[in-house]
Amino acid sequence: MKENKVYTKTGDDGTTGLFSGKRVPKHHIQIQAYGSIDELIAWLGLLRDLEESKENHDRLVKIQEELMVVSTQLSLALGTSLPAYLQPISMSSVVALEQEIDRLTDLLPPLKHFVIPGGNPLVSYTHLARCVCRKAERDITALNEEKPVDLLIFAYVNRLSDYLFTLSRKFAQDLKVKEIKWNAN
């Protein structure tokens, strides 16, 4: 009986394989970019674990699935195509995030100041996910200097950080957490 092992030992030399099989250093910007997306997927899993709303749970799973596709897109070597069984991130995914941001915003009081994160673990973790999303965005823009990145990935990740900010505010409202507004005056 053949064993199915998690470890391959192929990374023991400080390299890792891209989706295409090409080996690159583990610190390569391409690995950083899709590694940041992987970190974000994990943070969204934590949010799902803490949130009881089925609607939010289902939306977060969908976003995690979309981010898995983004991660795969980022892991491709130049000139390599996405496998036929995967569809690249699309404008409809960006629009869906925009619609959800708009829906949540309509339920919230207007915001005229920056918000200082905190007040409840769910609110704080959502802000942490937003920060990881912004980090992923920075890594993706750095990757784009080496290899072209689909512009829809930029739009999706940018919108996702806005969604996470809005979601944190909605969680604060639902949990009756007073937002601390930062006024730089």
| pLDDT given for residue 140 in this prediction | 97
How confident is the model at residue 132, as a pLDDT? 98
Q: Which residues of 158-177 are buried (b: 16+ CB within 10 A; e: fewer)?
A: bbbbbbbbbbbbbbbeeeeb
Residue indicated by tokens 């030399």: 13
CA distance linking residue 107 with residue 98, whole number of Å:
15
Pairing relation of β-strands 180-182 and 15-17?
unpaired
Backbone angles phi, psi at 121, to 5 degrees: -55, -40
Write out the H or E segment, with its range, that includes residue 68: helix 54-75
- Name the average pLDDT for the chain: 90
Of the candidates 67, 66, 76, 82, the one whose C-alpha atom is nearest the C-alpha of residue 31 is 76
- Split the chain (185 residues) into runs of 10 and give each run's mean pLDDT: 73 73 78 94 96 91 97 85 90 98 96 90 97 97 94 97 97 94 76
Report the distance separating Cα 37 and Cα 64, nearest Å: 9
**pTM given for the model:** 0.90
At 184 the pLDDT is 67
Domains of the chain: 24-76+87-182 (1.20.1200.10)
pLDDT digits 0-9 by tens, 104-134: 999 999 988 889 999 999 999 999 999 999 9
Over the stretch 34-53, which tens digit does the pLDDT of each residue have? Answer: 999 999 999 999 999 998 88
Q: Which long-range contacts (CB under 8 A, 24 or more apart) does 48-51 make?
A: 50/121, 50/122, 50/125, 51/122, 51/171
